[in-house]
């Protein structure tokens, strides 16, 4: 039987949902404990399944596929989407991981269309292991219960590694006069409202006010004005006033996933510069650079 990915599971029945791949899972197998360390495979163990689920789901809103760097320093990604309007940078240091069984840096190409289906299977208290089997060309995603490997229960999903162009994507070397860290839920609410009206949302920042606007067809519009001393701001720095417009849908896609694991978002922008969003979560950071819209 062929499928987007295969699954082994121990002591757990999966519910059939519309989110399943068309050709379903392999039969149940018996197994206990760790699946890593066999046959010279590489492995990383993430302590928080919730972080893995929502970080990779956020990236899936922008990326079809990407190449990750896995190694002694942890997990890193620097990629641009197919339309070249965004740059995404992920950094999960080894110090945040429970286990790192990789002695050298390796590149792993994956399809987000497949991976995002696996991410939906992860619960907040699960632990997640990535096992890379280079000879077989597979990435195994192993989901353990909250007790981890010692609990003896797991679900294992396997997907094929793919060839992804290892294009060098440098991080933009930009200085921003505007840096605002705000409550993520509050920002998500207004961006969602703006997205209902228009594809484009504009940000304006002065020393005293932060303004979010969107204008749609038929005279529809929305405007939210926040004072710089509003309690929703954790940080408010405006060294030069600026205004710029960006894709509401793309911002919303990222924020709606990251709100599950982040309390705040840092927004940096300026007139005629890309938007930079920084999400710091418990085990790492995720950055999104997004080109302006007119």
| pLDDT (0 to 100) of residue 6 | 55
Do 277 and 86 touch, CB atoms closer than 8 A? no
All CATH 3.10.150.10 domain ranges of the chain, comma separated, are: 5-18+39-160
Residue 40 or residue 179, greater confidence: 179
Residue 7 has pLDDT above 80, yes or no: no
Span 142-162, average pLDDT: 85
Q: What pLDDT digit, counting tens, does each position of 56-114 carry?
A: 999 999 999 999 999 999 999 999 998 999 999 999 999 999 999 998 889 899 999 98
| pLDDT (0 to 100) of residue 288 | 98
Q: For residue 168, what pLDDT band results from cuts at 50, 70 and 90? A: confident
Span 205-231, average pLDDT: 96
Residue 46 has pLDDT above 50, yes or no: yes
Instruction: Classify domain 178-290 at the CATH class level.
Output: alpha beta
> Architecture of 5-18+39-160 per CATH?
Roll (3.10)
| pLDDT (0 to 100) of residue 171 | 87
Span 258-264, average pLDDT: 97
Do 182 and 264 touch, CB atoms closer than 8 A? yes
Residue 166 has pLDDT above 80, yes or no: no
Mean pLDDT of the chain: 86
Residue 21 has pLDDT above 80, yes or no: no
Span 4-20, average pLDDT: 41
Residue 266 has pLDDT above 90, yes or no: yes
| pLDDT (0 to 100) of residue 8 | 54
| pLDDT (0 to 100) of residue 209 | 98
Q: Lowest mean pLDDT: which of 21-25, 103-107, 152-156?
A: 21-25
Instruction: Give the gyration radius of the chain's Cα atoms.
Output: 21
Edge-to-edge strand ranges of the sheet holding 233-238:
106-111, 65-71, 74-80, 86-93, 284-290, 275-281, 264-269, 178-183, 233-238
* Contacts by residues 280-285 (CB-CB < 8 Å, ≥ 24 positions apart): 281/51, 281/54, 281/55, 282/48, 282/51, 282/96, 283/46, 283/47, 283/48, 283/51, 283/92, 283/96, 283/97, 284/51, 284/55, 284/74, 284/75, 284/90, 284/91, 284/92, 284/93, 284/96, 285/90, 285/91
Residue 20 has pLDDT above 60, yes or no: no
| pLDDT (0 to 100) of residue 220 | 94
All CATH 3.70.10.10 domain ranges of the chain, comma separated, are: 178-290
Q: What's the pTM?
A: 0.87
Q: Lowest mean pLDDT: which of 163-167, 225-229, 263-267?
A: 163-167
Q: Lowest mean pLDDT: which of 110-119, 151-160, 173-182, 244-253?
A: 151-160
Residue 29 has pLDDT above 60, yes or no: no
Q: For residue 144, what pLDDT band results from cuts at 50, 70 and 90? A: very high
């Amino acid at each position: 039987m062929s499928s987007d990915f295969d699954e082994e599971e121990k002591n757990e029945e999966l519910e059939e949902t519309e989110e399943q791949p068309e050709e379903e899972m392999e039969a149940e197998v018996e197994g206990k404990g760790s699946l890593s360390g066999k046959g010279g495979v590489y492995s990383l163990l993430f302590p928080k399944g919730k972080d893995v689920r929502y970080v990779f789901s956020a990236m899936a809103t922008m990326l079809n596929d990407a190449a990750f760097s896995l190694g002694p320093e942890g997990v890193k990604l620097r990629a641009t989407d197919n339309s070249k309007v965004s740059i995404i940078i992920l950094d999960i240091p080894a110090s945040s991981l429970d286990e790192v069984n990789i002695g050298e840096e390796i590149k792993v190409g994956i399809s987000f269309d497949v991976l995002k289906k696996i991410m939906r299977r992860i619960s907040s208290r699960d632990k997640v292991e990535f096992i890379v089997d280079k000879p077989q060309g597979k990435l195994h995603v192993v989901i353990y219960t909250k007790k981890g490997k010692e609990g003896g229960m797991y679900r294992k999903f396997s997907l094929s590694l793919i060839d992804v162009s290892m294009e060098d994507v440098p991080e933009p070397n930009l200085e921003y006069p505007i840096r605002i860290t705000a409550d993520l839920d509050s920002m998500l609410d207004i961006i969602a409202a703006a997205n209902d009206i228009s594809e484009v949302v504009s940000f304006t920042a002065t020393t005293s006010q932060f303004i979010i606007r969107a204008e749609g067809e038929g005279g529809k519009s929305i405007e939210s004005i926040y004072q710089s001393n509003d309690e929703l701001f954790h940080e408010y720095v405006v060294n030069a006033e600026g205004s710029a417009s960006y894709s509401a849908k793309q911002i919303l896609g990222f924020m709606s996933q990251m709100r599950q694991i982040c309390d705040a978002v840092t927004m940096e922008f300026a007139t005629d510069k890309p938007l930079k969003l920084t999400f710091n979560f418990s085990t790492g950071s995720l950055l999104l650079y997004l080109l302006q819209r007119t």
